[in-house]
Structure 1
Amino acid sequence: MRLLSVDYSRIGRDSLRMSGARNPVLVEAFANIVREARQESGITQEQLAHDADIDRTYIGLLENGRRQPSLSVVFSIAHSLGLTPELLVRRTRERAVRLAASPPGTAV
């Protein structure tokens, strides 16, 4: 099973490949999705952090792409946003594919 099902004919196969344990495209995609979902829910970073039982500053670091969450944090954030972890990961994957296919500096 592939984690990222991608039409590689449109983008380079290496665009989403991880180098080490950190994939900057996935980190940026996750940051964007969490921020958007939180804003759509109408809650602050502080409220999300409280509901997810994680530090408020960590939410800011995640939303700015400066940290990469553990699996348990993904589950906790998803639950706090009223999403399933699967939906949060799917949205992240879809955004990562769009980011990888877009020219640098383009809003996705």
Structure 2
Amino acid sequence: MRDQSIIIKQVIGKTIKAIRIKKSLSQEDLAHECNVDRSYISMIEVGRNEPSVTKIFELCKGLKIKPSDFFKLVESEYEKIQEKSGEI
């Protein structure tokens, strides 16, 4: 079993990337919207960085999505992973 915090970081990154791509934004575009470096966005998307709650709210603003909707997507994806691993 993978460490729960690693899975959550990966799910957050995967969700941010999916929304960004769906909205036709580059990492550079999102980084500019959030006043961070492009490499920071990349590190989040690959699961190497875990954004703070404050930064998640800024990312959601840049992605033009409500934080509550973002967390619902993260929760849904996390539950799918748990079901596949037989933990739920």
Distance 1:49 1:100 in 2: 31
Unaligned runs of 5+ in 1: 1-14, 104-108
For the 8 Å contact 1:25–1:100, the answer to whether it is kept is no
Measured on the aligned residues, the alpha-carbon RMSD in Å equals: 1.6
Within the candidate set 88, 93, 97, 2:75 is matched to 93
Pairwise mapping of residues 35-50 of structure 1 onto structure 2 (< 5 A)?
Answer: 35-50=17-32
The structure whose Rg is larger is 1
Distance 2:56 2:69 in 1: 11
Corresponding pairs, count: 84
Q: Do residues 27 (structure 1) and 9 (structure 2) align?
A: yes
What's the TM-score, normalizing by structure 2?
0.87
What's the TM-score, normalizing by structure 1?
0.72
Q: Which amino acid aligns with 1:28?
A: Q
Name the residue aligned to 1:55.
Answer: 37
Q: Which amino acid aligns with 1:52?
A: C
For the 8 Å contact 1:52–1:77, the answer to whether it is kept is yes
Please state how far the C-alpha of 1:52 moved relative to its aligned partner. Answer: 1.0
Unaligned runs of 5+ in 2: none
Please state how far the C-alpha of 1:101 moved relative to its aligned partner. Answer: 2.0
Distance 2:48 2:35 in 1: 19
Please state how far the C-alpha of 1:72 moved relative to its aligned partner. Answer: 1.1
